[in-house]
Amino acid sequence: MIVLIIATSILLITISIIQYKSVAKEYNQRRIEGIEFYVKKHINYILSNTTYPLIDENIKLIFKDKIHEMSDIQNVEIRIYSLEGKLLQSSKESFSVESQSPTVSKFILRLVQSSINKRYVDVKTINGIKYRSSYSLIKNKKFKPIGILNLPNIPDDGYYEKELNNFLIHLAQVYTFMIIVAFAFAYFLSSFVTKPINDFAKKLSGTRLNRKNEKIPFSAKIKEINMLLIAYNRMIEELERNAVKLAQNERDLAWREMAKQVAHEIKNPLTPMRLTVQSFQRKFSPEDPNIKQKLNDFAESLIQQIDTMSSVASAFSNFASMPAQQNEVLNVVEVVELTLDIFNEDYIVFECSENEIISKIDRTQLIRIITNLVKNAIQSIPEDQETKMVLVTIKKIANEVVIAIKDNGTGIDPHHVANIFEPKFTTKNSGMGLGLGIIKNIIENYKGTITFETKFGSGTIFTVTLPIINT
């Protein structure tokens, strides 16, 4: 509102100045035309009653006394020039002596003779005051030009400038008063309107989903703000209901995620156990001289998987995380080789240049890593593929043990490479996609890394690097 008043006042002042200047210009133009009209009328009267021939030499005689009379009547200086611009008679000659008679420039002579009205008004400013000089042709009875009438340096009338100044002063007083009133009105109005909005903003900034939020009482005197408060209170009620639902959904989701993870962890050792039993059943022979050693290996393998399941069940029953690390000193080569024995596939090849690599690591978690990666490698090879190969190698490089699982399966689709370690991501028809995510967390807990190289249609190499923990 204040800006509108100020903008209106500026616009009105601008328009007023332009209007007053236009009126003043028109007034001064008409004023000099009026003076010129009466002077020429007087000149025509003198010329019609003179007995002298109308030539340049007689102009001075014709207007010898009459030019002063005309100058006194109109209160202006009068000059009469020849058509060539030479001064013939002036009303100032009897009062002042000039060393050189003024002449009319050829430029002004051309303007006078080429104009439609045969006249020209020259405007110039001297010491801040605007002066106008009028030039027009003098004609005889036969309308033949005989000279040029000049009314020099007639100052503009300052009436309109004074009126404009008075108007601007009054306008400034009125608008100053209006702006003061507007400031006061705007202050009280804004305080009346913005106080409930400020209260609403404070309440809104303190609104949280995880705590009980207070409603705002209906204290505003403005209908629209009351509608805003009603909407806010409704939102608070809806927010509380949604918060309860969200908390319940989060608990349900947590239980579902834990159930999926536990099911995956239990299923992980069950598959090797089943394979071990099937392998033992197929290869069992009472006449085998090594039957006792094979029974011991079979029992040890089953016990390892049962221990893994037992630890998962214990962790779930205690509402804790997955089994904590139970590090023990072991031969990584031996554990990996023993883990591979549970698989029946004859195309699984194990290579290691060293007989033992001693480290301190959790046996069950190492078995879980190898089991999961080998099982994924087997499943990546189509059943109808003629040549199948899964190669497991172990190397010791500096203070790290590097385990590589290579297959010649279908490889990983380039579109899935970025998501391969994400939980719940899987390209299989069965499974929940938690395996690679879980073993990645296990490996990273040991400050190790897991990477892979794949060529779609040719196979994949997963490389696990674990630091050797000294005993």
Q: What CATH number corresponds to the domain at position 404?
A: 3.30.565.10
Q: Which of 448, 432, 428 is nearest to 440 (CA)?
A: 448
Q: Which of 449, 441, 445 is nearest to 422 (CA)?
A: 441
Question: Which two tokens mark 413?
Answer: 């689709």
CATH at residue 159? 3.30.450.20
Cβ contacts of 142 within 8 Å, gap of 6 or more: none
Is this structure's pTM higher than 0.85?
A: no
- Rounded Cα gap, residues 407 and 411, in angstroms: 8
Q: Say if CB 59 and CB 89 are below 8 A apart.
A: yes
Give me the residues of the chain with pLDDT under 70, please: 93-101, 157-160, 209-212, 218-221, 251, 254-255, 258, 262, 311-324, 423-434, 471
Question: How far apart are alpha carbons 167 and 291 in whole angstroms?
Answer: 124
> Which residues face 405 on adjacent strands?
392, 462
The answer to whether position 222 is within a domain reads yes
Residue 113 and residue 62 share a domain: yes
Q: Is 285 left (phi over 0), alpha (psi -120 to 50) or beta?
A: beta
Tell me the C-alpha distance between 143 and 204, whole Å. Answer: 92
- Whether residues 337 and 451 share a domain: the answer is yes
In a domain, 195, yes or no: no
Chain center to CA of 215 = 34
- Are 285 and 347 part of one and the same domain? no
The DSSP symbol for 156 reads P
| Closest among 446, 466, 447, 471 to 333, alpha carbons compared | 466
Domain assignment present for residue 187? The answer is no
Secondary structure element (H or E) that encloses residue 441, with its range: helix 435-445
- For residue 253, is it within any domain? yes
Distance of alpha carbon 409 from alpha carbon 378, whole angstroms: 8
- What's the total number of domains in the chain? 3
For residues 291 and 430, state if they share a domain.
no
Question: Are residues 409 and 307 part of one domain?
Answer: no
* Same domain, residue pair 13 and 158: yes
* Residue carrying the six token digits 């190790």: 448
Say if CB 304 and CB 363 are below 8 A apart: yes
273 and 336 together in one domain:
no
Domain boundary among 274, 301, 324: 324
Residues 156 and 282 in one domain: no
CA gap 439, 279 in Å, rounded: 26
118 inside domain:
yes
Beta-carbon-side half-sphere exposure of residue 116 (alpha carbons within 13 Å): 0
pLDDT digits (tens, 9 = 90+) for 339-378: 998 888 889 999 998 888 998 888 888 998 999 899 989 9
Whether residue 214 lies inside any domain: the answer is: yes
Whether 345 and 315 share a structural domain: no
In the sheet with 459-467, reading across from the earlier edge strand, the strands are: 348-352, 390-397, 400-407, 459-467, 449-455
- What distance in Å separates the CA atoms of residue 284 and residue 134, rounded to the nearest whole number? 138
CA distance 149 to 135: 6
Give the residue ranges of DSSP H helices in 284-424: 291-317, 332-340, 363-379
**Quick one: residue 398, left, alpha or beta (phi over 0 = left, psi -120 to 50 = alpha)?**
left
Measured between its terminal Cα atoms, the distance across the chain in Å is: 82
- In this prediction, residue 4 carries a pLDDT of 81
Residue 468: which domain range?
325-471
Q: Which of 294, 309, 324 is the last residue of a domain?
A: 324
Please, what is the Cα angle at 304 between 300 and 308, to 5 degrees?
165
Residue 174, domain member (yes or no): no
Q: Quick one: 404 and 351 in the same domain?
A: yes
Which residue type, as a one-letter code, is found at position 210?
N
Question: How much is the pLDDT for 6?
Answer: 81
Asked whether residue 407 falls in the same domain as residue 270, the answer is: no
Q: Which of 138, 164, 190 is the last residue of a domain?
A: 164
Do 312 and 399 share a structural domain?
Answer: no
Establish if 198 belongs to a structural domain. Answer: no
